[in-house]
Amino acid sequence: MDRHLENSGLLVVPGVSGAGKSSLCAGVLPRLRGAGLTPVPEAASWPCLMLTPTRAPLDELAVRIAPIAGVGAAAVRRDLAADPAGFALTVRHAAAAKDADAPQPLQGRKRVLLIVDQFEQLFTQCEHEEERRAFVAALHSAATATGGQEPPALVVLVVRADFEARCAEYPGLAASVQHRYLVTAMTERQLRMAVTAPVAQIGSSIDADLVEVLLGEARSRSRAAVGRIAADPACHPPLSQSELAFIRASGRAHRRRRRVRQSLVATLCVLLLGVGAVAAWAVHAGQIADHRRDIAIADLLAAKSEAMGGTDPTVAALESVAAWRIGHTAEARHAMLAAAARPEIAVLPGPSGAETIARMGRCSCGTSPPTDRRARQSPSPPRR
């Protein structure tokens, strides 16, 4: 603050979430009230305003400065909308106004200490870019020396570190961002000193177990703050037009790749279905061809059996049995019945043919074939 008393009275204090930026500013105020600033001891009597931008930063600024300046908040709000740079005059009037609680005007009261905490709300909650620029212009005018006079206010902007780039996009804040006062996260040793040092200054002590409990709570709160930032999209800065264009192009490319993948999968499914249908048709066609072949062979054997019935009854009977085994057709059945009805048939080599003809004869003709065991047995060789 001492270095920002001359030319530019605008100080940017960035830091990661949970680093203690707000606590630092809150701790500076009692010290400022007690001893002021080193070059300006009368800073102890400066009026102090501490605010957050919220969704309507100009409204919040007008409501906070109006009681000190002794004017209406509506009038200040209209002036901010019409001419944000004219806010410096309102702040100068507030710095020179008489304190209502003081019996006499405070000597050396020439500035207002204006602390804007959570400045990132200007980007996360305020939806209108014109209002953002007007708010920044008003703060910059209040912290800038004009006409040979010192700035009417010392403005401190407390902002999260990931919003520094957004702040630098505004000409009134670019130089202040370059000369910022960065608040880093406290180390384990610094946290321990923050707990034990104030107690030691008053000549007392603190239990070691209580120190560990407090340090554990500080660590858990820091992790919880980081988790809230990751889980809440409103805490992230709005994207620029180029970033939005990049995201839209990435989305289109992703959708195009997804459509290509879906087309390939659909094509493969169609091919698999086609191959399966062709294979099923081929198997079915093969079965039909085999069945027709068997029928043709059976019919051929049945025809040969009928043709040879008069010349070679035994072979005719065997061919009729073979025809029936290959295909149960009407021709094969007729050949079997014809062979069973011939009286010339006495012996068929092997039990299968005789049993088959006998069975077909019983089923179809209603007569039983000869049951003579000698007819079923092979002839014995002649005795010598």
Q: Quote the CA–CA distance of 317 and 106 in Å, as a whole number.
A: 140
**Residue spans of alpha helices (H) in 187-343:** 188-201, 208-231, 241-307, 313-326, 330-341
- Order of strands across the sheet with 10-15? 10-15, 153-160, 112-116, 48-51
Strand partners, 144: 8
The most confident of 131-140, 205-214, 222-231, 308-317, by mean pLDDT = 131-140
pTM: 0.52
What pLDDT is stored for residue 136 in this prediction? 93
Please state, for a pLDDT cut of 70, what percent of the chain lies above it.
Answer: 77
Q: Quote the CA–CA distance of 207 and 205 in Å, as a whole number.
A: 7
**255, 261 in Cβ contact below 8 A?**
no
What pLDDT is stored for residue 232 in this prediction? 52
CB atoms within 10 A of CB 363: 12
Q: How open is the CA angle 245-246-248, to the nearest 5 degrees?
A: 65
Domains of the chain: 2-185 (3.40.50.300), 280-376 (no CATH)
Identify which of 39, 50, 30 has the alpha carbon closest to the alpha carbon of residue 5: 39
More confident residue, 272 or 179: 272
Q: In the structure, what pLDDT confidence band is assigned to residue 377 with cuts at 50, 70 and 90?
A: very low
What pLDDT is stored for residue 359 in this prediction? 46
Average pLDDT over residues 132-138: 93
In the block, tokens 């039990």 appear at: 351
**Residue spans of alpha helices (H) in 83-201:** 87-96, 121-124, 129-142, 164-168, 171-178, 188-201
User: What pLDDT, in 10s, does the model give residues 323-370?
Assistant: 888 888 888 888 888 877 776 554 445 544 444 444 444 444 444 444
In the block, tokens 């059996």 appear at: 305
Pairing between β-strand 10-15 and β-strand 153-160 as defined by DSSP bridges: parallel
Q: Quote the CA–CA distance of 33 and 50 in Å, as a whole number.
A: 14
Average pLDDT over residues 77-86: 91
What pLDDT is stored for residue 6 in this prediction? 60
Q: DSSP assignment, residue 144?
A: B
Q: Quote the CA–CA distance of 33 and 52 in Å, as a whole number.
A: 21
Task: Check whether 383 has a pLDDT greater than 60.
Answer: no
Identity of the residue numbered 163 = F
Identify which of 119, 114, 132, 115 has the alpha carbon closest to the alpha carbon of residue 15: 119
